[in-house]
Structure 1
Amino acid sequence: MSSKLLQHVASAFSTDGALARSIKGFSCRDVQVTMAKAVTESIESRNNLVVEAGTGVGKTFAYLIPSLLSGKQVIVSTGSKNLQEQLFYKDLPALLDMFGLTPKVALLKGRNNYLCQHLMEKELSGASSMETQVLDDLLRINQWAGQTTDGDIGGLTAVSENSPAIPLVVSAKETCIGQRCDYYDECFTRKARNRAKDARVIVVNHHLFLADRILKETGFAELLPDSDVVVFDEAHLLPDISVTYFGQQCATRQLADVFSKLIDIYRFELRDAKQIELLSARCAALLNEWQQALYQLGDTDWRRLQSNKALSVLSWGLVKEIKALQSVLLGHVGRSDDLDDEIEKLEILANKLESFFLCENNQAAYSIDYGHRYLVLRIAPIDVAKECRKLFDSNVAWIFTSATLQINRDLSLFTRQLGLSQSKEMLLESPFDYQNNALFCVPRHLASVNNHHAALSQFVDVCVKAVNAAKGRTFILFTSHRMLNAVAPILQRRVHYPLLVQGQAGKQSLLKKYRQLGNAVLLGTGAFWEGVDVRGKLLSCVIIDKLPFISPDDNLFRARSESIEREGKDAFSEISLPQAVITLNQGVGRLIRDEKDKGVLILCDNRIVNKPYGQAFLNSLPPMARTRDLDKATAFLEQIN
């Protein structure tokens, strides 16, 4: 006997159900109903469910409808802000209206997505020394601040999303002074927290969910309620994001800010504590000297860098000086609230710095990210399965879904990475007619991708031919910025359609312009491989330069490879190949977004057809018609009106 909830869910998707009554042209998809029933069973039995749902299955409604009809406390976590906002502003309101439901719903983002009024006031007070463009942007943000109701920077359109003014005024744990703030009652971050406390359905992203669940360091600590159901959409991103949150990171900018703030505290509050200024300035100088040494070396692998004696002397000299500063600061505890805040921050950062320098964990990668002026030091665990296992409470229904989870028709890699020992697994095919509507072309006679000059020349020739046949309307996806930067200026001269290149503007601005132009060519790297939805004839062709294998120089990859090889396993088949298959699938997924879409996928890498591992890629791709003849591909494009 089916449960009452299962009956309600089945009714919702029926030919005379709520969806059919509310959505013009709605047609019931068997795969969507299958997924919705599986989600319902998972909610009722509190079992784990892992579902790969191909493009067009309609997975969003398949998990939202059972979740809403269950009446339970639900958290939906996404991998991208785009999907997060689509769920909150579009899908959830539509479904609540269809079913006449009125639960409180909240959208919650990480702190740095909200304007901080305290920082806004502080920055404007120092406006006289500011660059003109930054000041102009700050004034625009300040004007918007008087109109916004939620302070969500995502709603700010008056300045570029890459404006250097934005990081100056968004909320951060390091700058939050809590109840001492003049804007405590109006604080956008605090209001967002309060809305989430009262909500029955909360939409978050993976970063915030993991930060709240694991680190409790975001200022949103213990904010998310104990839920009955947690749905991870875009779940393929979870394993890599988990590495960040089970690891540790230290930004040198935070250290520099602490030293600067301590000097200000001496100058404006504690004029009798000259040693604070002297030692803080000394630490700041040593930090800068150490950073400059690293910039000159340019290596991202801290294990390799440890053998550099001069750098080692600088590193431990910095630690020694920070400890001397901490000893002096302890003698002034309680004299200033601001000083006490900085002492606490310095202790956390100093411990992280020393832990990084010691490099004691053999099961972690120690790497350095080089920014414009500052560094981020990262300790990333090789395997997070053990930690993830503790995360997934057995009293909760955990549901994981994405269009790209399987390798060679197998979901076990994903479940192993997250330590999911018991879960129901499903592979649901896309209902789209790929065989007739999509053509996959790997052109014949391609040079080796390792022959950069020949590969570049051939790739440009293929792009020109395909773009002209498609009348623009093309995405060209690259596996590296180097290749993108080499191709863009050549295409600029050879193609007469508008060219939009990643870096010219923010991602959303480029996509908006692409849609408006109607005949544009967009060139992008990783950011454009996923989370981009362009439907219809606007996108007829996707060209990919080569198979997206991770760089062998990546520190975490190298550490994982060494660990795998110590176990007698093959790092290529265990790590490189699976990651590349999933990434390629994401890129391919940009092409066919609707049942009426038609298009051509061109991959300029013949390893997919002449290497044994190529079959793993082919088995995981949608069932498109295939050809090696570029002329057939261009003829197909010319027929798409």
Structure 2
Amino acid sequence: MTSRLATEVARVFAADGALARHVTGFSPRDSQTAMAAAVSEAIAARSSLVLEAGTGVGKTFAYLIPALLSGKQIIISTGSKNLQEQLFYKDLPALTQMLGLKPRLALLKGRSNYLCQLRLDKQMREASHTEARLLDDLLKVNQWAGTSKDGDIGGLTSVAENSPALPLLVSTKESCIGKRCDFYDECFTRKARARAMDARVIVVNHHLFFADSLLKDTGFAELLPDPDVVIFDEAHLLPDICVNYFGQQCSSRVLDSLLQQVLALYRSELGDTGQLAQFSQRCLARLADWHNALYARDANDWRQLLGDKALAALSWGLLDELQALAKLLTAHLGRSEELDDIAVKLAEFNAKLAQFFHCDNPQAAYGIELGNRFVVLRISPIEIARECAELFNPDTSWVFTSATLQVDRSLAHFAKQMGIDKARQAILDSPFDYPRQALFCVPRQLGSVSNQQQALKQLVEVCLQAIDAAQGRTFILFTSHRMLEQVALALRSRTQYPLLVQGQAGKQSLLTKFRQLGNAVLLGTASFWEGVDVRGRLLSCVIIDKLPFVSPDDTLYRARADSVARHGGDPFTEISLPQAIISLKQGVGRLIRDEKDRGVLILCDNRIVNRPYGQAFLNSLPPMARTRDLDKALTFLRRIP
């Protein structure tokens, strides 16, 4: 039986409905109408829905319209800031006007997007010691803060987005002191949360949603409201995000900052307590020794590193010094509010560090990420299904959608990962004419990708031919930074077309330049495989170096693989293959973004046709025309106007 909401939504999508009256060139699409109906029924029945909507289905309107017409309190969570802002500033205003609705809307971002008035005040009070260029930016931010209504750094145009002033001024969990803050009443972050509590439609991102849902964010009693409906767009990102939020992590950057704060406090307020300086400096020295030892070993699996007795001794020695400092701070509680705050945060950090060093949870992976100066320690759960199932309460409607969720025409892998096996599942294919619009080529002459020198030489030759045929207008997507750098070096002296290489500038800056040039070649790794939308003749060719299998040395993969093997399963088919298929689909999705687009996809990895598992990849990709003949692909490219 069709719900009242589904009937009302169907009228909006009809040939004579609101969309047809207000959107130029609109015509009903069966897949979009079907998605809107499925979302409507999930909302009406308070049930869960997992739905893959191929590129071109129009999924944004297909979930926004049922959400708005339901009249319920809705959280829409996205994977990227760009989509979050598009929904809030463009799509939602257009639809509410079109539908004659006036719900309260709220855009809520993570802490680091908001100015912290306390940190700004502190920097301004210390301005006499500030370097001239930094001071200039601080003054501009201070002037902007007096006129800004929301404190969203995204609205700050007078200061460059990479200004060294901004990290000193934005809100952070570590610097927040909650109700004890002199600026609590006017706090931009607190007011943003208050607006969200009163709104009917709240737009957030996945990181913020899980941080708040799991109470990982501190400083305020009120977090996100308990909504009637949660819609996750770009839901394919959720499994990796959940691993972070259901696990634990701590950064030595935070520890270094706390120790520096103790030293600064000794110099400014507590100079009569020399032990503060002595203990802090001892901790900093131990931290430096520990850092040096980690970088010298250059490994990321803590379980393996624990076998190194010298490193284990350094680790426990560092914790001993930190606990001695924590005990000293406790003895001086009440002398300074800042010291009291540091004492609490150091105790929390020490507890996390001890948990990591003990490494005693067989259902978790213990990994280390080595940065430029600091390290991040992560405890990652092998499975997240149980935690997710507890989080997704049955009183709320949960909708999960993305263009890339299915593996070999099934959504079971995603549903199982997320603990939502009982959710309704649906796959709606793209309405694009892929057999006519796109050609998929795996060149016949390719050798094995395991022979890196041969693979590099062949990849460069394929790239040169394709770039010339496409007159630039090419993305080259890589599975490793090393291969990207080698190919970029080889192409620089051999092609006349402009090369834009990841790392030269920020992602959005490179994409803007790619569009402006009109004949450029962009080389990128993981971040360019998704969330990139270049339409029309600006992008005619996408080249992918090889199938994106996870590295067997990845700490989390190794822990998961061991667990699967212990239970008699096959780690390759249960973990590696599904992850690689979804990643490949993301890369492939960069090519055809519009019903008028035409282009060629070239995959320089013949395993997709030579190995039995290749068919699972092919079944999961859009139904492009296929060829092994590179010359046919080049001819196709030359004929694209």
Sort the TM-score into its range (normalised by shorter chain).
over 0.9
Q: Deviations over 1:383-409 (max 9, x none)?
A: 011111101110111000001111111
Displacement of 1:157 after TM fit? 4.7
In 1, Cα distance between equivalents of 2:469 and 2:163 = 37
In 2, Cα distance between equivalents of 1:409 and 1:244 = 28
In 2, Cα distance between equivalents of 1:165 and 1:601 = 43
Displacement of 1:194 after TM fit? 1.5
Aligned partner letter, 1:329? L
Seen in structure 2, the aligned counterparts of structure 1 residues 542 and 139 have a Cα distance that, compared at 3 Å, is farther
Q: Which residue in 2 is equivalent to 1:420?
A: 420
Aligned partner letter, 1:269? E
1:359 aligns with 2:359: yes
Aligned partner letter, 1:429? D
Q: Which residue in 2 is equivalent to 1:49?
A: 49
In 2, Cα distance between equivalents of 1:382 and 1:603 = 31
Does structure 1 conserve the Cα–Cα contact (< 8 Å) formed by 2:178 and 2:219? no
Q: Which residue in 1 is equivalent to 2:244?
A: 244
Q: Deviations over 1:483-521 (max 9, x none)?
A: 111111221211211211111111111111111111111
Aligned partner letter, 2:171? S
Seen in structure 2, the aligned counterparts of structure 1 residues 128 and 562 have a Cα distance that, compared at 3 Å, is farther
Question: TM-score normalized by structure 2?
Answer: 0.97
Q: Which residue in 2 is equivalent to 1:36?
A: 36
Seen in structure 2, the aligned counterparts of structure 1 residues 247 and 77 have a Cα distance that, compared at 3 Å, is same
Does structure 1 conserve the Cα–Cα contact (< 8 Å) formed by 2:459 and 2:604? yes
Aligned partner letter, 2:337? D
Equivalent position SS for 1:174: coil
1:447 aligns with 2:447: yes
Q: Which residue in 2 is equivalent to 1:597?
A: 597
Does structure 1 conserve the Cα–Cα contact (< 8 Å) formed by 2:5 and 2:41? no
Seen in structure 2, the aligned counterparts of structure 1 residues 220 and 635 have a Cα distance that, compared at 3 Å, is farther
Aligned partner letter, 1:77? S
In 1, Cα distance between equivalents of 2:328 and 2:27 = 72
Does structure 2 conserve the Cα–Cα contact (< 8 Å) formed by 1:161 and 1:506? no
In 2, Cα distance between equivalents of 1:607 and 1:588 = 16
In 2, Cα distance between equivalents of 1:141 and 1:496 = 43
Among all aligned residue pairs of Structure 1 and Structure 2, give the percentage whose two residues are the same amino acid: 66
Taking only aligned residues, the RMSD between alpha carbons, in angstroms, comes to 1.7
Q: Which residue in 2 is equivalent to 1:381?
A: 381
Displacement of 1:4 after TM fit? 2.5
Q: Which residue in 2 is equivalent to 1:61?
A: 61
Equivalent position SS for 1:175: coil
1:579 aligns with 2:585: no
Q: Which residue in 2 is equivalent to 1:517?
A: 517
1:98 aligns with 2:98: yes
Aligned partner letter, 1:48? S
Does structure 2 conserve the Cα–Cα contact (< 8 Å) formed by 1:438 and 1:601? yes
Aligned partner letter, 2:512? K
Give the stretch that moved more between structures: 467-476 or 357-366.
467-476
Give the stretch that moved more between structures: 401-410 or 271-280.
271-280
Aligned partner letter, 1:242? C
Equivalent position SS for 2:516: helix
Does structure 1 conserve the Cα–Cα contact (< 8 Å) formed by 2:80 and 2:531? yes
Displacement of 1:60 after TM fit? 0.7
In 1, Cα distance between equivalents of 2:388 and 2:246 = 9
Equivalent position SS for 2:574: helix
Does structure 2 conserve the Cα–Cα contact (< 8 Å) formed by 1:5 and 1:40? yes
In 2, Cα distance between equivalents of 1:190 and 1:491 = 50
Aligned partner letter, 1:326? A
Displacement of 1:635 after TM fit? 0.9
In 2, Cα distance between equivalents of 1:131 and 1:119 = 17
Q: Deviations over 1:527-571 (max 9, x none)?
A: 110011111111111111110011111100111111111111111
Q: Which residue in 2 is equivalent to 1:110?
A: 110
Give the stretch that moved more between structures: 270-279 or 347-356.
270-279
In 2, Cα distance between equivalents of 1:326 and 1:50 = 47
Q: Which residue in 2 is equivalent to 1:313?
A: 313
Aligned partner letter, 1:67? A
Seen in structure 2, the aligned counterparts of structure 1 residues 443 and 219 have a Cα distance that, compared at 3 Å, is farther
Seen in structure 2, the aligned counterparts of structure 1 residues 57 and 79 have a Cα distance that, compared at 3 Å, is same
Seen in structure 2, the aligned counterparts of structure 1 residues 86 and 408 have a Cα distance that, compared at 3 Å, is same
Equivalent position SS for 2:313: helix
Displacement of 1:189 after TM fit? 1.2
Q: Deviations over 1:184-238 (max 9, x none)?
A: 3432212211211111100011111111111342446642111111001111111
In 1, Cα distance between equivalents of 2:148 and 2:118 = 16
Seen in structure 2, the aligned counterparts of structure 1 residues 547 and 45 have a Cα distance that, compared at 3 Å, is same
Equivalent position SS for 1:377: strand
Equivalent position SS for 2:151: coil
Displacement of 1:124 after TM fit? 5.0
Seen in structure 2, the aligned counterparts of structure 1 residues 636 and 127 have a Cα distance that, compared at 3 Å, is farther
Aligned partner letter, 2:119? L
Equivalent position SS for 2:493: helix
Aligned ranges for residues 44-443 of structure 1 at < 5 Å?
Answer: 44-124=44-124, 126=126, 138=138, 141-142=141-142, 144-146=144-146, 148-158=148-158, 160-219=160-219, 222-443=222-443
Aligned partner letter, 1:600? V
In 2, Cα distance between equivalents of 1:457 and 1:159 = 44
Displacement of 1:126 after TM fit? 4.9
In 2, Cα distance between equivalents of 1:402 and 1:230 = 14
Equivalent position SS for 2:75: strand
Q: Which residue in 2 is equivalent to 1:635?
A: 635
In 1, Cα distance between equivalents of 2:400 and 2:300 = 33
In 1, Cα distance between equivalents of 2:165 and 2:620 = 43
Seen in structure 2, the aligned counterparts of structure 1 residues 536 and 144 have a Cα distance that, compared at 3 Å, is farther
In 2, Cα distance between equivalents of 1:553 and 1:455 = 21
Displacement of 1:166 after TM fit? 2.9
1:7 aligns with 2:15: no
Q: Deviations over 1:256-315 (max 9, x none)?
A: 111111122222222332222211221121111111111111111111110111111111
In 2, Cα distance between equivalents of 1:130 and 1:522 = 39
Q: How many residues align?
A: 641
Q: Which residue in 2 is equivalent to 1:551?
A: 551
Seen in structure 2, the aligned counterparts of structure 1 residues 607 and 147 have a Cα distance that, compared at 3 Å, is farther
Seen in structure 2, the aligned counterparts of structure 1 residues 329 and 398 have a Cα distance that, compared at 3 Å, is same
Q: Deviations over 1:48-84 (max 9, x none)?
A: 1000110011111111100100000000011111111
Does structure 1 conserve the Cα–Cα contact (< 8 Å) formed by 2:10 and 2:37? yes
Does structure 1 conserve the Cα–Cα contact (< 8 Å) formed by 2:177 and 2:219? no
Does structure 1 conserve the Cα–Cα contact (< 8 Å) formed by 2:179 and 2:219? no
Q: Which residue in 1 is equivalent to 2:492?
A: 492
In 1, Cα distance between equivalents of 2:196 and 2:438 = 43
Displacement of 1:146 after TM fit? 4.9
Q: Which residue in 1 is equivalent to 2:18?
A: 18
Seen in structure 2, the aligned counterparts of structure 1 residues 416 and 226 have a Cα distance that, compared at 3 Å, is same
Seen in structure 2, the aligned counterparts of structure 1 residues 74 and 618 have a Cα distance that, compared at 3 Å, is same
Q: Which runs of 5+ in 2 are unaligned?
A: none
Aligned partner letter, 1:533? D
In 1, Cα distance between equivalents of 2:46 and 2:143 = 48
Equivalent position SS for 1:321: helix
Does structure 2 conserve the Cα–Cα contact (< 8 Å) formed by 1:75 and 1:229? yes
Aligned partner letter, 1:32? Q
Aligned partner letter, 1:377? L
Q: Which residue in 2 is equivalent to 1:464?
A: 464
Seen in structure 2, the aligned counterparts of structure 1 residues 488 and 162 have a Cα distance that, compared at 3 Å, is farther
Q: Deviations over 1:335-368 (max 9, x none)?
A: 2111110110011000000100000001111111
Aligned partner letter, 1:635? T
Equivalent position SS for 1:422: coil
In 2, Cα distance between equivalents of 1:571 and 1:538 = 40
Q: Which runs of 5+ in 1 are unaligned?
A: none
